[in-house]
Structure 1
Amino acid sequence: MPTAIDSYEEGRRRPTGSAGGRTRVLTTHSVPPDESLEYWHDAVFDTLVGMDIAAEGRTYDATLRTDRLGDLQITTVEADPGHVHRAPRFIARGDGREVFVAVQSAGRAQVEQDGRSTELRTGDIGFFETLRPFRTTFPERFRLKIFAVPRPLLELPEADVRRLTGRAIRPSGGLPALLAPLLERLADTSESYTTPTAERLAESVIDLVAATAADQLGADPAELPGADGVLLQRVRTYIRWHLSDPGLTPSVIAGVHGISVRYLHRMFEAEGSTVCRWIREQRLRECRKELAAQPPGSVSLGQVARRWGFASPAGFGKAFRSSFGLSPSDWLDRVRAGGVPC
């Protein structure tokens, strides 16, 4: 029979300038009914990770839709009742590079991992560690929206991730009440954002996931996501969305968030940085990404610098050389020659 790689239904092409190459849809409707479960095994392995999948009958009705939002892979699974087991033999193949953050969009899921079990109900959030075995039973037809977060970006020690699995995070208040509907909406609209917007959204989502995780773990109040930590997340998100504004200053940021400039500086100092340094680092990061992505000669250094909030090309060049030890043009020449990473 055909594998998921060979016989998936081609996703539609995205509009020019959108966040990725295409949306991919895999469905058991594309194969004969008696081959549907085997096909679904291939589809899940090809898109997520390897798992054993069992169902009551020989036929299985299931569809998954996958897309990218910046560094996030988003997969929406809608399927018949069944059982999945992420067994050690799959983990040994080395396909577990992400932590899955999932929203139970419809139906229920009975989850077991790391010695705990829980039931995800509609609206609940669950963390799945792909480096360790887990079992999930879906007693009824369900819809699950899965965000695959690269482990380094989540910045959580393995011991902390282990404490998050096998637990249902209810969206009844606090950060989960913000995160759950955001993930729901982004999974449904991921293909509609341009690349720069998608990348900013992904960064903000990862920040909010990390803050929610820390909240669930009972982090120190002086760290995320205590009162200062939640506010710092909001400030960082605001900065990312306003990097192009050359008038983005500590006084403006403090005023928008109803705090004093001194308090703003103190929050960043607690993180080992300063407001202005953090803004500069984010601007330089976006400039580097745009310069590396553009065809040679299609955009000037001055255009990119101004687009990301630098008042002048000279100021951009000085900041760039101070941070990376090269001028922007020398750095770009080395990137195109394959001599330095982007």
Structure 2
Amino acid sequence: MLSTDSVTLSFDTWLETLRDVCGSFDSTPLSRLNFQGNVTTRSAGGIDIAGIQTNAERIVHHRSARIADDSDCFLIVQKHGSATLIQNGETITMRPGEMTLMDSAVASQIYPHGFMEHDSLHLPRVEVMRRFGQPHVPFMKVATDSASGQIFQMIVSRLLNDPLTAMEEEEYSGISDSLIALLPGIHRHQATANPHPDDANGTLYRCVQQYIDHHLHEVDMTPETLASKFHISVRQLYRLFEQHEESICRYVQRKRLERCAESLVSPLQASQTITRIAFQWGFTDSAHFSRAFKRLFSQSPREYRRQYLLDAS
């Protein structure tokens, strides 16, 4: 839920504000009617900070044609709720208090797990690259299991949680350089201590499942379109499901059949034909649908509906 002192924007206004503040973004709401979201801006120690609140289904950052949109890196600090971040085919799950560095020049996606809130600190990308000594910025969770990580967290918490006085603003004017200077050491420590801190494949698998479950009605949802949505190859998508002893195509078909079964016995769908219900859930061939339905439920769709009505009476 939004806090009592927060303003809820319409989805379109929220997205327009997000683009104005953070650059080239798109988003998909779970429901425009029940959308909750806000975008705030402030500055602390010379660092621009965007406060993002939303219950959108997903947020997508595109590589912008405008150089100005790629001038900053995003240091994301999760405040409430949780979310999954995806960039360069890697996945990070964010929980309250955790921090992640993202490159604004690389496409990325954020999947909120319900309502969530985070702060995005904008750090100059050129300086971050200079400190890392490489032409790209690593996508990394900023862990606090080292001295550098703990100092980093302490500075960020001070910036976010307590307004700085005018004197402190002057003292903190170079704090961006200090934060950036700590990042390479934190990155090296994490790579050495724990190269796989997240259950990345498990998290990505759940994100793909969630996306499929919300888009079963889309006829053009294919392995190719799914892989494109998550910025992975089709082969990676197949492997992802194989690792969980599942097939991407079987999963989509089973979920569609389950939704069809629910619709067949729903009083709200009693006047709908079996073919229409099948087409509502992404099937395009009624004969193929009937065969697949019987394989899963050991009854034809017509028998399944008739049996339910008999049992109900």
Question: Partner of 2:118 in structure 1?
Answer: 144
Length-normalised TM-score, structure 2: 0.52
Alpha-carbon distance in 1 for matches of 2:173, 2:58: 30
Pairing partner for 2:65 from 61, 76, 92 = 92
Whole-angstrom CA distance in 1 between matches of 2:120 and 2:22: 9
Q: Which deviates further from its counterpart, 177-186 or 68-77?
A: 177-186
The match for 1:231 is none
Aligned to 1:48: 22
* Structure 2 counterpart of 1:32: none
Structure 2 residue aligned with 1:108, among 73, 76, 82? 82
SS at match of 1:179: helix
- 1:149-228 alignment, distance < 5 Å: 149-154=123-128, 155-157=130-132, 159=134, 161-162=136-137, 164-165=138-139, 167-190=140-163, 192-194=164-166, 197-218=168-189
- Give 3-state SS (helix, strand or coil) of 1:84's partner: strand
* Aligned equivalent of 2:49, options 66, 71, 74: 74
The CA deviation at 1:92 is 1.2
Asked whether the equivalents of residues 72 and 123 of structure 2 are also in contact (C-alpha less than 8 Å), the reply is: yes
Shift of 1:98: 0.5
Q: Secondary structure at the match of 2:174?
A: helix
- Which stretches in structure 2 are left out of the alignment for 5+ residues? 191-313
Give the conservation status (yes or no) of the 8 Å contact 2:131–2:180: no
Gaps of 5+ in 1: 1-24, 30-35, 220-342
- Aligned residue for 1:123, secondary structure, equals coil
- 1:70 touches 1:202 (CA, 8 Å); kept in 2? yes
Runs of 4 or more, structure 1, over 6 Å off, are none
Cα deviations by residue, 1:7-44 (Å, 9 ceiling, x for unpaired): xxxxxxxxxxxxxxxxxx99444xxxxxx111111110
One-letter code of the match for 1:176?
Answer: G
Cα pair 1:105 1:184 within 8 Å, conserved: no
Which residue of 89, 93, 117 corresponds with 1:119? 93
| Equivalence map 1:297-316=2 (5 Å) | none
Residues 179-328 of structure 1 mapped to structure 2, 5 A cutoff: 179-190=152-163, 192-194=164-166, 197-218=168-189
1:93–1:160 CA distance, 2 compared to 1 (3 A): closer
User: What SS class does the counterpart of residue 53 from structure 1 fall into?
Assistant: strand
TM-score scaled by length of structure 1: 0.48
The Cα offsets for residues 95-134 of structure 1, whole Å up to 9 and x where unpaired, read as: 1211111111221121111221111122111011111101
Give a deviation string over 1:28-66, Cα, whole Å, max 9, x none: 44xxxxxx1111111101111121111210132112221
Question: Cα distance, 1:138 vs. partner?
Answer: 0.7
> Which amino acid in 1 is paired with 2:50?
T
Deviation at 1:181, TM superposition (A): 4.3
The corresponding residue for 1:39 is 13
Q: Secondary structure at the match of 2:162?
A: helix
Give the 3-state SS of the residue equivalent to 1:184 in structure 2: helix
Work out the percentage of aligned pairs sharing the same amino acid: 15
Structure 2 counterpart of 1:329: none
Task: Note closer, same or farther for the CA distance 1:197–1:86 as it changes in structure 2 (3 Å cut).
Answer: same
Aligned residues: 183
What's the counterpart of residue 258 of structure 2? none
CA-CA distance at 1:207 after TM superposition? 0.9
Q: Report if the CA contact (8 A) 1:124-1:180 is conserved.
A: no
**Bigger Cα Rg:** 2
Matched-pair contact (CA < 8 Å) for 1:26–1:64: no
1:4-43 correspondence to structure 2 within 5 Å: 27-29=7-9, 36-43=10-17
Q: Distance in 1 between matches of 2:127 and 2:165?
A: 21
Q: Is the 8 A contact 2:84 2:111 kept in 1?
A: yes
CA distance in 1, matches of 2:40, 2:157: 14
